[in-house]
């Protein structure tokens, strides 16, 4: 039986939550092909991590691991080598995973080495070889059919439900991998410590745009965010202006989010920003310009200055909670 192989990322010995939608996409492809779902774990301690993931199963027929110190910290060069070795060992028909920054980097490399087609950022599985992906900054959707004995995909995490744990499966070690970082060096990793949920995993996101004018004004949005138990985001204009860190950017060149509630404050709604958040279940827009494009996708819109609207909203929430 043919295989669909989904590449996973781990942190702290556990599967990263953003990988779960990629498993769901892989399972849909496997079901459409009548194939088995298999999972691949890479890292310096992959065998132990793979055993824990195998205990959860996630609907997979098997979990495979490649352990090498060169796989941590992540480099696309080393991970690309590991994926190529896994493909040559397991002979899957399809390889993919969630469209995270890591897999966006290493999977195209592996596909190029193996001369395989790749469909990036898929949002739906039409059949075993046909996937839907957004084009033109999300203005349109394209059904793309891939041909060949081996194809690759990355799946947009906001468009697939997270895979749930199921019956335990087996874990197996893949030996003989030769990975090479090709001179790449990771000089340091800077992590943003926050008590808020991750931007791509939050059920509520509050984002600010160019109209916030300066970074200090984002303190008002932080207060609103914390009252709602959400995550803070921003448009590219706000991050490019240095108001907030770049890792808060939502949009085509930032993070793709689809929370239950997305509140856009002082964001005009350029197509590049809409590409990163228009899948949100409920969109609320606050902007002083009644012609702002953001109102075209908003479920609820308020034409007002943020200086008036946000403090009033904070006061109302505090009164309700009190």
* Structure confidence at residue 322 (pLDDT): 74
Beta strands in the chain (DSSP E): 3-8, 10-11, 14-15, 36-43, 62-67, 94-98, 117-122, 124-125, 130-135, 140-145, 151-155, 170-173, 204-208, 231-234, 261-265, 282-287, 300-303
Same domain, 31 and 139: yes
What is the secondary structure of 19-33 as a DSSP string? GHHHHHHHHHHHHHH
Assigned domain for 195 exists = no
CB contact burial 1-30 (16+ within 10 A = b; e otherwise): eebbbbbbbbeeeebbebbbbbbbbbbbbb
What is the structure's pLDDT at 293? Answer: 96
Looking at residue 110, its pLDDT comes to: 98
Does one domain contain both 168 and 210? no
Segments forming the whole domain that contains residue 244: 204-321
Residue 189 lies in a domain: no
Same domain, yes or no, for 159 and 60? yes
Please tell me whether residues 129 and 83 are part of one structural domain: yes
User: Torsions phi, psi of 4, nearest 5?
Assistant: -115, 120
CATH of the domain at 260: 3.40.50.1220
Identify whether residues 240 and 280 lie together within a single domain: yes
Are 141 and 223 contained in the same domain?
no
- Please write down the long-range contacts of 138-145, taking CB distance under 8 Å and 24 or more positions apart: 138/252, 138/271, 138/274, 138/275, 138/278, 139/271, 144/119
CATH number for position 15 = 3.40.50.620
Whole-structure pTM over 0.75, yes or no? yes
pLDDT for position 321 = 86
Binding-site positions read: 210, 235-236, 249-253, 287
pLDDT of residue 1: 85
- Are 152 and 247 found together in one domain? no
> Based on the structure, what is the number of domains in the chain?
2
The per-residue pLDDT for 284 is 98
pLDDT of residue 103: 97
In-domain check, residue 230: yes
Asked, for residue 199, whether it belongs to a domain, the answer is no
Q: Mean pLDDT for each 10-residue chunk of the chain (322 residues)?
A: 96 93 98 98 97 97 97 97 98 97 97 98 97 91 97 96 96 95 89 83 96 98 97 97 96 93 97 93 97 97 98 96 80
- Look at residue 194 in the predicted model and tell me its pLDDT: 78
Q: DSSP 3-state assignment of 255? A: strand
Binding site feature residues for FAD: 210, 235-236, 249-253, 287
Same domain for 152 and 33 = yes
> CA 15, CA 55: separation in Å to the nearest integer?
12
Do 89 and 213 fall into the same domain? no
């Amino acid at each position: 039986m043919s295989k669909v192989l989904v590449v996973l990322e781990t942190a702290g010995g556990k599967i990263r939550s953003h990988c779960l939608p990629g498993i769901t996409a892989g399972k849909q492809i496997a079901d459409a092909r009548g194939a088995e779902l298999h999972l691949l774990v890479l890292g310096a301690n992959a065998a132990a991590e793979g055993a824990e993931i195998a205990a959860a199963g996630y609907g997979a027929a098997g979990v495979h691991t490649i352990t090498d110190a060169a796989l941590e910290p992540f480099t696309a060069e080393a991970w690309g080598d590991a994926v190529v070795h896994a493909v040559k060992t397991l002979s899957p028909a399809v390889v993919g995973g969630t469209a995270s920054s890591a897999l966006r980097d290493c999977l195209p490399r592996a596909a190029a080495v193996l001369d395989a087609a790749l469909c990036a950022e898929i949002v739906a599985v039409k059949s075993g070889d046909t996937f839907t992906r957004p084009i033109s900054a999300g203005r349109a959707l394209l059904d793309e059919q891939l041909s060949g004995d081996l194809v690759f995909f990355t799946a947009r995490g906001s468009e697939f439900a997270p895979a749930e744990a199921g019956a335990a499966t087996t874990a197996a070690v893949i030996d003989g991998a030769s990975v090479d970082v090709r001179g790449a060096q990771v000089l340091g990793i800077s992590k943003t410590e926050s008590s808020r949920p991750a931007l791509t995993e939050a059920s509520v996101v509050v984002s600010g745009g160019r109209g916030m004018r300066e970074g200090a004004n984002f303190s008002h949005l932080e207060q609103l965010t914390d009252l709602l138990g959400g995550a803070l985001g921003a448009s590219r204009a706000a991050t490019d202006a240095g108001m907030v860190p770049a890792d808060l950017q939502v949009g085509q060149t930032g993070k793709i989010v689809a929370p239950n509630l997305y509140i856009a404050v002082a964001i005009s709604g350029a197509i590049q920003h809409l590409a990163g958040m228009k899948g949100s279940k409920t969109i609320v827009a606050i902007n002083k310009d009644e012609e702002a494009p953001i109102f075209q996708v908003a479920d609820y819109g308020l034409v007002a200055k943020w200086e008036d609207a946000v403090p009033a909203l904070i006061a109302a929430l505090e009164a309700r909670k009190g």
